[in-house]
Chains A and B, each alone.
Chain A
Amino acid sequence: MFAYILRRLLYAIPILIGVNLLTFTLFFVVNTPDDMARLQLGAKHVTPEAIERWKTEHGYDKPLLLNARAEGTAQFTDTIFFQHSAAMFAFEFGKGDDGRDIGTEIKTRMGPSLAIALPVFVIGLLVNITFALLMVFFRSTYLDLWGVVLCVVLMSISGLFYIIAGQYFIAKLWNLLPISGFADGIDGFRFILLPVVVSVVAGIGSGSRWYRTIFLEEIGKDYVRTARAKGLSEVRVLFRHVLKNGMIPILTGAVVVLPLLFMGSLITESFFGIPGLGSYTIDAIQAQDFAVVRAMVFLGSFLYIVGLILTDISYSWVDPRVRLQ
């Protein structure tokens, strides 16, 4: 088991290198630091001196891959690639355009992101499974048919409208909860409630429909027929047998997104003014802060790979038939 995890972690390194090279190519080769400077400075202030000054300030005034003027190993280390891309492996993200350290920003913003993403994940999972089981229980009746239609209708509404409607009706019209904002500790509960509710509702359509197919696939299997033949009640069959076995694909599918919860949700956080990583990312994209975008790409990929490894481990954990070698 331990050897397996270690090997998977070693496999992750070439993938992270690939991500790193890709972002390096995108951000520095296709789109040179000069272009970045021009975009940042705006059309009015573009002079060669201003571009040089911007590049020096942001540490982009070095050669891309190989510094011919430096000595020894500095030939490789005193370059943009080493300073800005390779350094990310040590989680050294450098500074954003606003001069703040990206690493510290990420640390302070992970908390608020998790405060939204974790409840959404857990409650969403419970709600979706409940709806899916209900539909399966009433399968081939009108209740199931209309449940599926309702799911398709809910799926067809853009996530933006859920947020806008939630903010407008619950917060503005009925004054039940604050429209946006965030506070630490127990006081923050009223701020978290609305984004969590909205996000859970937005996910019901696709989530419960997907789980319904998983449960239906289970219900056609032989062991379910055996259980019924034994004389078990339908409720017992559903909860004791189908739910347990159906949870294998559901849980392992959920585990892969677990680490990504740290990244938060771009749209939800920015609409509700939550100072998490999602709104940090969206602000960086809108301000065209390349350093932050690059850091978030790396962090996201890292967490995704962690998720993949966790998925494999969870497979062997919930399903004894799977052996990791």
Chain B
Amino acid sequence: MSAVSINIVPVILWTDALIFALLAVVAGLVWAIRRQEHLRAPWRSVAQRPMAMGAALVLGVFVVIGLLDSLHYREKLPDSAASAPQYSVEVLSVFDALMGELRVSREKTYSAPLAMQLYAKEFIERDGVTVRDYPRLQFGGAHLAHPDEHLPDLVRRGLAGLGQGLAASLVVFGLFAAWRARRTQRSLGAWLADWRSGRLGWPARTLAGVLAAMAVLAAVIVQLAAGYHVLGTDKVGQDVLYISLKSIRTGLVIGTLTTLVTLPLAIGFGIAAGYFRGWVDDVIQYIYTVLNSIPGVLLIAAMILIVQVYIESNPELFDTAAARADIRLLALCLIMGVTSWTGLARLLRGESLKLRTLDYVEAARAFGVSHTRILGRHIFPNVFHLVLIAIVLDFSGLVLAEAVLSYVGVGVDPSMYSWGNMINGARLELAREPVVWWQLGAAFVFMFTLVLAANLFADGVRDAFDPRLGDRR
């Protein structure tokens, strides 16, 4: 292990630092919420919703992949001296290390999912004669001696993955059931009966189903990926599955860090406008009407062009291509945050306007409690549910916006792995014959899964936290 640790140098990109800072904040919040019953109650209600919990599980997998992909490092070049080590310009992540061969196994150009031959015909030498045929892939199906073995091999690997996934989920489920039964002092049979009839008080059946489905899917993919490109390869021959998985981090960063920028602006301005009224309200309303009246895409485009000019005129600030792309990603989050706080701010202003006239706030003012204290203790906690609902509702919209902005040309850096860039690179290939569909398909499936999970989870959170919703959902 020590040999490995000497050979790498950790790289902390700006977004990495912010992501882990965000993680720390969330952990702190969870700790704070756990101690207060009135904050725990709505979360307990979220935990009882099957849809929301299933979605949360899927989101969790995405988050873990994104976090692993945020631990970056650079490898030492093999031929550099020990006294003055030189490091590769390529920034890798722990996730890359886990992916192993998937990252480096490249083909020449397009190849279909699970194929063993290239997409295009080439002149190849066979038995001394030059023929025009589909050449074999460097990696996909390279272990097969004859094309006839292709289908049986796929079936064998698929079944093996299915078996492993089922076995793994059964073992995990069994151990969990035994542990829970012991904890609640019941027999295993009684616990299982409760589980089957859904009387455990939390959506255990849904969770078990989702978990088993994900385990089986993962096992099948791992089995197939050992010998094939599961989702094919792109124009330069890179594995599409790898690109799609790497894009998860970009989507998560945009969905979360943007909110981090939005929140202080929206909370500060919104509450201040509603609470103080008068000229403060006028100024803040003026600011957000101005910002709101500029078409969002144009404002983002204008600002991104400016950031681009800055990056290009100061190349010495960024030592690697990854750092350059990262600063653009961060800039995109900042810009989207600056352009998107107005909606939440208006909502918070309206709510604070209402709250400030309530008796307990009037009473606090009459007792001479300072403004900061009133804002912190009486106003903010009572609008917090709006903030939380806005965070979860905005997330999916931001992930979707990334794709559109990348298409317009003002999204993330073109060298960055993102679903927007995948769609952008692939949409013209639909005109080819036969159609190259797997790149678009992969981007669609990954994006759809993340956004759908986020939407379902957001619905659960909103239903649990919005007191106005009551019985109509």
Contacts and interface: CB of A to CB of B under 8 A. Distances in A.
Contacts of A220: 472
A158 B400 contact: yes
Given A15-B286, A39-B312, A286 B302 contact: no
B309 interface: yes
Nearest to B400: A158
Contacts of B456: 152
B92 interface: no
Contacts of B132: none
B403 A285 contact: no
Contacts of B440: 161, 164
Nearest to A173: B435
Interface stretch (B122-130, B290-298, B318-326, B357-365): B290-298
Given A152-B452, A161-B423, A300-B294, 20 more contacts: A18-B287, A23-B294, A30-B306, A31-B305, A31-B309, A36-B309, A38-B309, A39-B309, A160-B427, A172-B430, A172-B431, A220-B472, A266-B297, A267-B404, A285-B305, A286-B409, A293-B298, A293-B305, A297-B295, A300-B295
Given A35-B309, A164-B427, A156 B289 contact: no
13 contacts: A22-B294, A26-B302, A26-B306, A30-B306, A156-B396, A156-B451, A156-B455, A158-B400, A158-B423, A159-B400, A168-B430, A266-B408, A285-B410
A97 B410 CA distance: 19
B288 to A, nearest CB: 10
Interface residues of A, number: 49
A168 B456 CA distance: 29
Interface string A21-38: 011001100110001101
B403 A158 contact: yes
Contact of B298 (A30, A216, A297): A297
A19 interface: yes
A157 interface: yes
B461 interface: no
Nearest to B306: A31
A128 B466 CA distance: 24
Interface in B432-473: 440, 444, 447-448, 451-452, 455-456, 459, 472
* Interface core residue of B293, B295, B306, B396 (most chain A CB under 10 Å): B293
B83 interface: no
Contacts of A199: none
A198 interface: no
Interface residues of B, number: 43
A75 interface: no
A219 B410 CA distance: 44
Q: Is the interface of B mostly helix, strand, loop or mixed?
A: helix
B301 interface: yes
B5 interface: no
Nearest to A22: B290
Interface of A: 14-15, 18-19, 22-23, 26-27, 30-31, 35-36, 38-39, 152-153, 155-161, 164, 167-168, 172, 213, 216-217, 219-220, 260, 263, 266-267, 281-282, 285-286, 288, 290, 293, 296-297, 300-301, 304-305
B301 A285 contact: yes
B302 A23 contact: yes
Given A15-B289, A164-B440, A158 B298 contact: no
Contacts of A296: 295, 298
Contacts of A304: 292-293, 295
Contacts of A160: 403-404, 407, 423, 427
A293 B301 contact: yes
A158 B444 CA distance: 8
Given A30-B306, A158-B400, A216-B472, A267 B295 contact: no
Interface string B266-297: 00000000000000000000110111111101
Contacts of A168: 430
Contacts of B396: 155-156
A156 B290 contact: no
B313 interface: yes
B404 A159 contact: yes
* Interface core residue of A157, A158, A267, A300 (most chain B CB under 10 Å): A158
B303 interface: yes
A38 B408 CA distance: 22
Nearest to B312: A39
